Chains A and B, each alone.
Chain A
Amino acid sequence: MRQVVLLAWCFGFAAWMEDARTEELAVPPAASERSIKAAFLFKFLAYVEWPALAFSAPEAPIVIGVLGADDIAAELSQITASRSANGRPVVVRRLREGESFAGLHVLYIGRSEAARVPGLVRAAQQRSILTVGDLPGGMDHGIVITFVVVDGRVRFEIAIDAAEKSGLKLSSRLLSIAQNVRSGS
């Protein structure tokens, strides 16, 4: 008797979850800022072209270094655990202070690193590393892609001059979706 009650409850619960699923929209209505930024960061990879020598082999992974943003690193790791970009696996590394940028293709700069941005940008440009961040005015400091929150949505601004200084090519599709594009300095 008790087993029957249990099974009925189990199916009731499952049916309720099923109903919840059919009502859900194709696109989630809302999400956290960090989840959206991490998702964007992953998506950017398909719209960036690195210089030929940036990868040692066709199957060498794209390495994303995250500095001062453990929450974004965690979300990114979840995303990249089961996905590839441009046919390459993606690896996320949490960087410690002073750690070298050797082997990185992307550098995400967290807000806590604001004071060190000029030095970080210089080092990244020398190694053709795509810099991304959410510091206000990041575009003016040489960060290639900067997140901004506009009317409750996450958008991004692109500094083409910074990209060119790093030897990176950005797809025009990416530029067309950007909130703001700056081409000259």
Chain B
Amino acid sequence: MPSLHTRVAAVLLLLSFPAAGETPRELADLSLEELSEIRVTSVSKFAEPLSQATAAIYVITADEIRRSGATTVPEALRLAPNLEVARLNAQQYTISSRGFNSVNASNKLLVLIDGRAAYTPFFSNAYWDQQQIMLADVDRIEVISGPGGTLYGANAMNGVVNIITRDAHATQRVLVDATAGTLARQGALRWGGKLGQAATRIYASGFDSGHTDLATGASGKDDWHGAQAGFRTDLAAGGSNLTLQGDAYRNVIDTPSGRRSGGNLLASWTRRISAESAASLQVYYDNQRRVDSGTSGGSATNLVHTFDIAGQQVVMFGPDHEVVWGIGHRAWKDEFTNTANPFVLVPRAERVNLTNIFAEDTIALRANLKLVLGSKFEYSTFSKWAAMPNGRLGWEFAPGHFAWVAVSRAVRVPSRLERDLTAPGIVDRSPDFRSEKLTAYEAGWRSTLSRDVSISLNAFYNRYSDLRTTKPNPLTVLPVTFGNGWEGHTYGVDAWGTYSPLRWWRLMTGVELLRKDFHLKPGERDIAGVQTVLGHDPGHQAFVRSYFDLPHDVELSVALRHIGALTDVRVPSYLEADARLSWHATPDLELTLAGQNLVHRRHAEASTPPTYYIPRNAYLGLRWQY
């Protein structure tokens, strides 16, 4: 089932075609006579959501994930040409959209898993070493580059990643998915079936990863392993769809010893109220716990509890207006205890609240021209009120050809680290640290040129202000505080296209170009330098992927990527290739041989420092359904 926002957005754009999965199921249970009596809803001026989205959106399908050979979510995200994905070491990735990719700066991407934010208020980021989602049960991943403030709220500043798992009705069989390779091994088992009227699945998975190497060739000692289990239940009853899902995980880092553990429970309810309106309600609880040992004794523990409730309604006012509006509230309780070094948060434990209300109207100016106006108003404990308005215009100038422009404003709410961090003599609390702000100007063009060729081209110009600086004390340099002294702009292009020269051969290419230009506001200083806060971003990324459907149920795919150099941290540009060969021995059994990073024996994608080198690796895989 799609995430809350996606589901509602889909209904918004297709109100005569209610959210996927609702009306069709009910209609299919009617008799022939009853079906013959249903009135067709009047004029829909809004067609397929994807081809008419007024945003730079790339959807990674389940099939694309399967054929890529990716075994983890961050690896699957490499498939989006509008994301920067850099692997730091065996455990960590930095992932961002349109710049700001680094451990300290990639805080501008909102990641949602079935509507649940995989985000921590501790340092405004998503931890990629916590969520091990079973990729076989992912329906799709929607990647939006560009601000999603109006629909998704604060922290969807540069982009939104929406990971949507499959409806339990679509996973009603037993599935075994296992890979064993030179770098990592993982296995997952899922059982699906019906509990009364509700479709259910439960799963358990585990992984064991080896280490990457340092420059000298010595082991990076970043081995780790973990396990996760969870369930999902979907029930369609009398016009409502109900979903209940939950997961629990525990990952163990060997050196220095660490633990990542947590769990979540989510319930969501969507309902088509009438031909003109649909509504949904989602509630979830999430907790995350991270423990790390200090290199010279002691440990640092971060514990976050999240409670979130959000409701949305989509209403059609006449044939020309589709309005989506909603209210939500998120309560975080964050605790940070540190005995490993002097850096602590004061207060040690804090409650952070985020309340928002939003409304957006999609207006059909003409049959092929639509205007979207909306805003979200958010109140947070740290930043009081913030407004995130946007305006978008979409024009289908010919069938299969769509152009759009948009202006939006987005903010990133301060994290606990930015407000409360202190270490005697080194850093003082920064209670005046404000939200970072963005005004984004975007345009895009999307065309289906023929049955075999499609193209998508998106350009952006982003103006940022109040980006974080590390301010030295004017007299004594130390202690430092955090200020909002950087401002400037980025501009660039994300483009991708697909071409199918033969029925059994498909090509996909993508390019991302980025330029950054920042300066300090008059009178501001930043002791940490440009690189800390503005990210380590390549000036360009290029991708080519080739998919071959060979005889005898064999599939081959080859993916090449060229990522530009990260000049600030002296990581050179690199070219890498992944390849995957699979054979459907029976319709229910797929055997796979895959290789990743095949070009060089090892290469680096980022540097924290130290630099960890990602090795060439290969694995054998098996996916079997019963």
Contacts and interface: CB of A to CB of B under 8 A. Distances in A.
Nearest to B451: A97
A29 B463 CA distance: 48
Contact of B25 (A13, A24, A82): A82
A36 to B, nearest CB: 6
B29 to A, nearest CB: 9
A50 interface: no
Contacts of B540: none
Contacts of A20: 271, 273-274, 279
Interface in A75-98: 75-76, 78-79, 81-83, 96-98
Given A21-B239, A81-B169, A154-B38, A32 B23 contact: yes
B237 to A, nearest CB: 10
A36 B27 contact: yes
Contact of B17 (A34, A154, A174): A34
Interface of A is mostly: helix
A149 B38 CA distance: 11
Interface residues of A, number: 48
Contacts of B432: none
A98 B269 CA distance: 42
Given A27-B30, A27-B34, A75-B24, A6 B309 contact: yes
Interface stretch (B39-47, B147-155, B413-421): B39-47
A11 to B, nearest CB: 11
B37 interface: yes
Interface in B30-70: 30, 32-41, 44, 48
A79 B25 contact: yes
Nearest to A10: B309
B146 interface: no
| Listed residue (A6, A35, A96, A174) with the most chain B CB atoms within 10 angstroms of its CB | A35
B266 to A, nearest CB: 14
A116 interface: no
Given A39-B24, A78-B20, A28 B275 contact: yes
Given A31-B40, A155-B36, A43 B28 contact: yes
Contacts of B48: 70-71
Interface in A34-50: 34-36, 38-40, 42-43, 47
A2 B283 CA distance: 16
B439 interface: no
A6 B281 CA distance: 13
B283 A30 contact: no
B454 interface: no
Interface residues of B, number: 49
A155 B21 CA distance: 23
A75 B27 CA distance: 11
B39 A78 contact: no
Nearest to A97: B451
Contact of B38 (A28, A79, A173): A28
Interface string B215-240: 00000000000000000000010111
Contacts of B329: 6
B361 interface: no
B199 interface: yes
Given A24-B239, A149-B40, A36 B35 contact: yes
Interface in A1-36: 2, 6, 9-10, 13-14, 17, 20-21, 24, 27-36
A21 B21 contact: no
B97 interface: no
B18 interface: yes
B17 A39 contact: no
A32 B18 contact: yes
Contacts of A21: 238-240, 271
A114 interface: no
A169 to B, nearest CB: 17
B47 to A, nearest CB: 8
B197 to A, nearest CB: 10
B503 interface: yes
Given A17-B271, A20-B273, A79-B25, A30 B35 contact: no
B39 A153 contact: yes
A16 to B, nearest CB: 9
Contact of A32 (B17, B34, B269): B17
Interface in B266-284: 269, 271-275, 279, 281, 283
A74 interface: yes
Nearest to A150: B36
| Interchain residue pairs A-B with the least CB separation, the first 10 | A39-B27, A30-B275, A82-B169, A32-B17, A32-B16, A79-B28, A20-B273, A30-B39, A39-B28, A30-B41
12 contacts: A17-B281, A21-B239, A27-B30, A28-B27, A28-B239, A32-B23, A35-B23, A43-B32, A71-B48, A78-B20, A79-B27, A153-B38
Interface of B: 14, 16-18, 20-21, 23-28, 30, 32-41, 44, 48, 167, 169-170, 199, 236, 238-240, 269, 271-275, 279, 281, 283, 309, 311, 329, 331, 353, 451, 503
Given A27-B38, A75-B20, A81-B169, 5 more contacts: A24-B274, A30-B40, A39-B27, A40-B32, A154-B35
